[in-house]
Amino acid sequence: MFLLYGVLGQPHGHVNLHKVFHAFSAMVTFESMSIGLFTVGVFVAMDRQNGVLRLKRLYPTPPGTYMVSKILSAMALLFLSLFLLSILLLIANGLPSVAAWVETIFYAVIGVAPFAAIGLTIGLYAGARAAGGIANVVMLFLGFVSGVFISMHSLPGFMQEISMIWPSHQLYELCYGVISRAAQGCLLVHWAILSSETLIFAMIALYKWQRMVL
């Protein structure tokens, strides 16, 4: 998608960096949602169905170890997948500086945490067959209401006003602000919202984990 709209869709001899930065930030956010929601959610649901989680609970480890490992694995997988996007960004002559690229990748890797926490919640509550469908619905919803798939100006006014509550919108704003060097609001607000949503869904997942029948 980034290759189509961000690279091949540019007029010959003229690169619209605004479109390149938007496409790159949108794809980074999409990758974060996909890995956090779908990959984590489905694998956790499969582990629960196959009895792997029952074995995990028998180990003398803190209850949050399994969930932390899933979040860290999502971060590692996202880090690897972003290299291809970065190569395409370089082809499109949209890489402003190495520092901006490193900062964007760092924000994206850390920003996958709330999506991984939501994926954990889906996997622990939904069945293995339903987890993938639920994760896809949540991913599409977050993509459309946060301005990732379509422009925020195309959304109704009330949806634009509440867009700040969605983690996908916060991550997109962070990535776009860094890579384009545009105004991105208060960093503390972005990270406070992402951190609070990670904590909320991690606590919901932990609640379910502690009440699972061995």
Q: Record the pTM.
A: 0.86
Q: Find tokens 């190495």 and name the residue.
A: 98
What is the predicted pLDDT for the residue at 82? 86
Rounded to whole angstroms, what are the CA distances from 128 to 44, 46, 51, 147, 200? 8, 5, 12, 30, 23
| Runs of H (alpha helix) within the chain | 2, 17-33, 40-49, 52-58, 65-91, 98-111, 113-125, 128-145, 157-161, 167-180, 187-210
Please state, in angstroms and rounded to a whole number, the distance separating the CA atoms of residues 189 and 185.
8
Show pLDDT as tens, one digit a residue, over the chain (214 residues). Answer: 444 444 544 554 455 567 777 888 888 899 999 999 999 999 999 998 888 888 887 777 787 888 899 999 999 999 988 887 777 777 766 566 778 888 888 999 999 999 999 999 999 999 888 999 999 999 999 998 888 888 777 888 888 888 889 999 999 989 888 877 765 667 888 899 999 999 999 999 999 988 875 5
**Domain count along the chain:** 1
What is the predicted pLDDT for the residue at 100? 80
* Residue 150 belongs to domain spanning: 2-210
What is the predicted pLDDT for the residue at 2? 46
What is the predicted pLDDT for the residue at 185? 64
What is the predicted pLDDT for the residue at 184? 62
